A and B are shown apart, each in its own frame.
Chain A
């Protein structure tokens, strides 16, 4: 309103033009990727346009089969076998811990909260090597435990922080009323807090889903046998296997690999972009 009060039509037009150009440049690579998945090897490297001449699903079929002994069905199932449990334990542990931080007074609360914020800035790469040694000692290598179990202890502190920030913005009236009616702390959590936290919880689910799908270094370090590979590692393998890569196949599989994340994003975007912004979390 006032912010663009002095605007002429030209200025408004320029603004849309700038945004449109940026959006095109940003999204064109993705459009091109989808288009290229239908093209032949030759066309991929000669055509600027993204629209394919014909719809050839051959690359999808071949890419899906892979040159390894497993198909991408295995790799997708593996990915989901990591993602689904991890998302579940993340939500449960982070909500409980955030509830404690936001609504309870206990010894060491301030200190623990500072530690939590500090670990958000701790470069994870410092922890990779000793964690690898720990998991090796426990006999967990080449299983999904190293990728899932730490999340059950609210170690993804971004999410705890985000939920605490969100909870701080929720007035306590309803909880106080429910307390007077005789609700205990767990009932309060389940009947009052969780419904109110829904948008924030959806953000946690979406972020954790997508980040875990994208995770590459974790599986790279902890998983050894191909039968356990998630999509990210399998995709890397399909490039590294031979010198003569069937690029069309790799492109087709890349498109498929992005589908779950894109789908989750669009299903939940109206909740989670807001959640992401209000908490100052980064993606």
Chain B
């Protein structure tokens, strides 16, 4: 470390200003707004807990939206993380052409958030889209992916899962750090590949599984582009995630106080789930010796 304390603080100053001005202040302000009624025309009016009371007791759309969000996260996060781990595991066998596959699997994760891909998804799952063409060719009945409320959720879950590449490269890096000697020893003892995966690989990379689960969860709860562009929240609100509801209340109906309350409920939900994960992590996440890994 360099001695010059002032200089260090000087370099970090932009961040201090930025985090206070663009993160902490808005964060507190949104909390304050959630106790008001505000429509941009008249000044905000303090109404206490009325917003929270309304959304908890009188707002069926909130309940629907909450359920949709939880369902989306419960399906999309394990599918993305699980698939990422599986593919990383297969790629880890030092195959030739690993770089090609790694890039191929990575591309969707960087393009997937774009509107162009949302457009593509609408085509793939359209009435006469790619998926239904394939189903018909194979002799199945076509499915009304976007019009049937039982299937619409899958279109956005599959889009989320399609972008598994970023989690995959993180897993791959972790897998490559597992010492080969452990596998050799297990091989000698006659452990099958599957046993090696479950008993050696998974326990050793639990910190990375944990990290990916948390980060993907935070992302899943904010998913917006997919539901907004592909299903438009429908049909029958079957994909009306909280992010969409918050957007509508805040920027379409200009119920800013209510929108703020909704966004705080979303924040509380994410914080609660993250808290539970951190608490549970001591039972299933194992950090290896070095302390520096824990930062």
Contact = CB atoms under 8 A, between A and B. Distances in A.
Contact of A125 (B103, B114, B214, B266): B266
Given A127-B26, A153-B15, A265-B110, A104 B119 contact: no
A153 B21 contact: yes
* Chain B interface extent, by class: 35 or more
Contacts, number: 295
B19 A45 contact: no
Interface stretch (B54-62, B163-171, B283-291): B163-171
Given A2-B183, A124-B222, A125-B224, A97 B92 contact: no
A80 to B, nearest CB: 15
Contacts of A278: 173
Nearest to A259: B116
Contact of B1 (A45, A105, A125, A134): A105
A273 B102 contact: yes
A103 interface: yes
B109 interface: yes
Interface in B46-83: none
Binding site of A, secondary structure by majority: helix, strand, loop or mixed? Answer: helix
Interface in B22-53: 22-23, 25-27, 29-30, 33
Interface in A86-137: 93, 96-97, 99-101, 103-107, 109, 112, 115-116, 119-134
B95 A15 contact: yes
A154 interface: yes
B100 to A, nearest CB: 8
13 contacts: A3-B180, A16-B95, A26-B162, A27-B107, A29-B120, A32-B124, A100-B10, A100-B15, A130-B25, A134-B29, A160-B15, A251-B119, A254-B117
Interface of B: 1-12, 14-19, 21-23, 25-27, 29-30, 33, 87, 90-95, 101-111, 113-117, 119-121, 123-124, 126, 128-130, 133-134, 137, 162-163, 165-167, 169-170, 172-173, 180, 183-184, 187, 193, 208, 211-212, 214-216, 218-219, 221-222, 224-225, 228-229, 243, 246-247, 250-251, 256, 259-260, 263-264, 266-267, 270, 274, 292
